[in-house]
Amino acid sequence: MKKTIIYKILNIVILFVMAMFFSCNDSFNQVQKMGVSENEPIGIAENINLKHTDSGRVTANMLSPKMLDFKNRDFPYSEFPEGIILNLFDEQNKKSVVVADYAIVYDETGLLDLQGNVVITTADNGVLKTQQLYYDRKKEWLFTNKPVSYKTETDIINGNGFDSDSKFTTAEVLEVTGIITVED
């Protein structure tokens, strides 16, 4: 009789342990997110002054009042809701400047989405203006299908779209709507 009760209790305990064992799953990611709403950034940075160097030489300097880090999302990104100023330096240390009212950097794709009063001033005084511009960091390519104004040494070219490598050696205004020749 005692053995029967012990076996019943042992069977109940084994059943309970097995039920707990099989009900467990890998919920580490869920535990990590527990204190953070999925709509909220995982981090906020203010007064950013980020410098990128290559062989001891500064190649880029990004300034922004605020960055929101959404790396807790399925498609991680960083958002710059108050805009950015990006200073780029070439091999001869000539500076080009990128300014935008708003920016998003998508980590997985390497795509930078610049929005609102986007202005790029190149080292040779070329100026590109548009409301939205994408930069593919992997391909080092700039593009948009929004209206643009591109000022070179001799012309101001208006159009609907723009394609160029990051050094502006292949800069092309698409669907040209007007060209104004600048005389000295």
pLDDT tens profile 46-98: 999 989 898 889 888 999 999 999 988 889 999 999 999 999 888 888 899 99
143 burial level (CB within 10 Å; 0-12, 13-18, 19+):
middle
Say which residues have a Cβ less than 8 Å from residue 153's Cβ, sequence separation at least 6. Answer: 124, 125, 126, 182
* Domain residue ranges of the chain, discontinuous segments joined by +: 42-181
Residues of the chain falling short of pLDDT 50: 31
Listed in sequence order, the residues at least 6 apart from 138 whose beta carbon sits closer than 8 Å to its beta carbon are 110
pLDDT recorded at residue 141: 92
Domain 42-181: which topology? lipopolysaccharide transport protein A fold (2.60.450)
| Model pLDDT, residue 28 | 52
pLDDT reported for residue 144: 96
Beta carbons within 8 Å of 79's beta carbon, 6+ residues apart: 41, 67, 68, 70, 103, 104
Please tell me the pTM assigned to this model: 0.76
Q: Which residue has the tokens 């950034």?
A: 41
Q: What pLDDT score does 97 carry?
A: 93
